[in-house]
Chains A and B, each alone.
Chain A
Amino acid sequence: MIAAIGLLLGVFLGLLLQPSVPVWLDPYLPIAVVAALDAVFGALRAFLDGIFDDKVFVISFVSNVLIAALIVYLGDKLGVGGQLSTGVIVVLGIRIFSNVAAIRRHIFHA
């Protein structure tokens, strides 16, 4: 319940404040958001499995975001930022898909 409220609150705040993305954050934010989404879906799956741990969730969330940003940074420095970003997105997308599949199995038993 509180989690759902938190999500709504964040979206609402974003719509209300309409913050502009700082330039230095611009390349990292999209990847970071996708990584955070991966962590969220993983946490939801773990919760449905009955093995949710908030500590694990926090750590995985933060490390996901940081590693994603680090990969993009590294890619930028090496001159392969676009490709690395694509790779990260692909990997995270696959993970999100598998997590969502597991969640679906839990909720719909199918």
Chain B
Amino acid sequence: MDAPRPAAATPVEPSGREDLDGRARLLAALRKPGSRGQVVAGLLLAAVGFAGVTQVQANRKDDTYVGARQGDLIQLINTLSLASDRAEAQITKLEKTRDALGNDTQARRTALLRARQQADTLGILAGTMPAEGPGVRVTVSDKNTGVGTNQLIDGLQELRDAGAEVIELNDSVRVVASTYLEDTTGGGVLADGTPLGPPYVIDAIGDPHTLATALDFTGGFISEIRGVGGTVTVQRLATVQITSLHKVQAPKYAEPGLTR
């Protein structure tokens, strides 16, 4: 194919000295670049080098299974498909776990929200949180110190009966489930250990109209106060702010029972 024909032979060196032997010619060509033949040879050699390296790399990539027998290959494929099945099963399982965790997080968030709402409700009920809302402010003036615990307890009872949610005495005592009133010798009252004197101010959060009417009926709170020589003014307010707090102590004797 490439047999060099003597007829087409032309020396590559411009000097063209035929007496040079092969080694000298090679060295001369290496030292002296530039003839057309060298450029062409360079291009083709570049192509050969490129193709050769490409083929070597392609071969290196793929020759892992070239010598393998059919049985080996089938086993290999089976192993791979098994592994892929296993990986898919694992993916499904993990996705399920992820979904479950997502649901769990959602449920926990909901539970937390509900617990927080309940804590708010209970805090208001127990008097551990400040509260505000529409309500009434009842001011009881008393010059003769005729007003005592009887009348005040009646008043609180009327207000609770009318749906008062939060009650406060004299801006300082939060009325809660355990609140007690006690008469003192000086004419005032002792509420949860705090001495109070007239004028007594009862703040209550609830429907203002209902609360006001609950106090004002024949034989009710207002007439009772008047009977002992006091005066009562009831203000209906759009916003009653109750800031005094009740200090909760952990129950000493009572323990939570089982809920069914």
Which residues of A are in contact with B by a Cβ distance under 8 Å?
A: 1-15, 18-21, 26, 29-30, 32-33, 35-40, 42-43, 45-58, 60-61, 63-64, 67, 103, 106-107, 109
Is the beta-carbon distance between B23 and A106 smaller than 8 angstroms? yes
Find the A residue at minimum CB distance from B9. A51
Q: Which of A12, A39, A40, A61 has the most CB of B within 10 A?
A: A61
- Whether B87 is near chain A, meaning CB under 8 Å from some CB there, is no
Find the A residue at minimum CB distance from B28. A1
When distances are taken between beta carbons in the complex, the residues of chain A under 8 Å from B36 are: 54
- Whether B12 is near chain A, meaning CB under 8 Å from some CB there, is yes
Majority secondary structure, A binding face:
helix
Size of interface on B: residues with Cβ below 8 Å to A? 47
Alpha-carbon gap, A8 to B13, bound state (A): 22
For window 202-228 of B, CB contacts with A under 8 Å fall at none
Is the beta-carbon distance between A56 and B54 smaller than 8 angstroms? no
When distances are taken between beta carbons in the complex, the residues of chain B under 8 Å from A47 are: 12, 22, 25-26, 29
For window 1-40 of B, CB contacts with A under 8 Å fall at 1-6, 8-12, 18, 20-23, 25-26, 29-34, 36-40
Majority secondary structure, B binding face:
helix
Alpha-carbon gap, A51 to B18, bound state (A): 10
Alpha-carbon gap, A85 to B18, bound state (A): 40
Is the beta-carbon distance between B51 and A1 smaller than 8 angstroms? no
Alpha-carbon gap, A50 to B48, bound state (A): 23
Min Cβ gap A43→B in Å is 7
- Whether B254 is near chain A, meaning CB under 8 Å from some CB there, is no
Q: A14-B51, A32-B51 are in contact. List 17 more A-B contacts (CB 8 A).
A: A2-B41, A6-B49, A7-B42, A7-B46, A10-B45, A21-B58, A36-B48, A42-B1, A47-B29, A50-B9, A50-B25, A53-B9, A53-B37, A56-B5, A56-B8, A60-B1, A103-B22
Min Cβ gap B183→A in Å is 101
Alpha-carbon gap, A55 to B36, bound state (A): 10
When distances are taken between beta carbons in the complex, the residues of chain A under 8 Å from B29 are: 1, 3, 47
